[in-house]
Amino acid sequence: MIGDRWGVTPAETRRRYPCDELVANPVLEAWRGVTVRARPDRVWPWLVQLRLAPYSYDWLDNLGRRSPQQLCGLEDPVPGESFTAAFGGRPVGRVLAVRPGEHLTGRIMGAVASYVLVPDGTSTRLLMKLVTHRGRAFAPFLSLGDLIMARRQLLNLARLAERPQAT
Which pLDDT score is estimated for 131?
93
Split at pLDDT 50, 70, 90, the class of 17 is very high
Which pLDDT score is estimated for 64?
67
Structurally, what CATH architecture does the domain formed by 5-162 represent?
A: 2-Layer Sandwich (3.30)
Put the strands of the sheet holding 90-99 in their side by side order.
5-6, 28-36, 123-132, 111-120, 103-108, 90-99, 82-86
- Whether the CB-CB separation of 102 and 88 falls below 8 Å is answered with no
Which pLDDT score is estimated for 167?
40
**Hey, is 135 helix, strand or coil?**
coil
Q: What is the DSSP letter of 153?
A: H
Which pLDDT score is estimated for 104?
97
The chain-wide mean pLDDT, for the chain, equals: 88
**Hey, is 49 helix, strand or coil?**
helix
The pLDDT of 38-62, averaged and rounded, is 86
The pLDDT of 7-20, averaged and rounded, is 97
Measured distance between the N- and C-terminal CA atoms of the chain, rounded to whole angstroms: 46
What does the pLDDT look like over 108-134, one tens digit per residue? 888 999 999 999 999 999 999 999 887
pLDDT at 141 over 70: no
**Which region, left, alpha or beta, applies to residue 124 given φ > 0 means left and ψ of -120 to 50 means alpha?**
beta
pTM for this entry: 0.90
pLDDT at 154 over 60: yes
Calculated CA dihedral for residues 156, 39, 34, 25, nearest 10 degrees: -110
What is the residue extent of each domain of the chain?
A: 5-162
- Whether the CB-CB separation of 96 and 7 falls below 8 Å is answered with no
pLDDT at 42 over 70: yes
Helix segments in the chain, DSSP class H: 10-14, 40-48, 58-61, 139-162
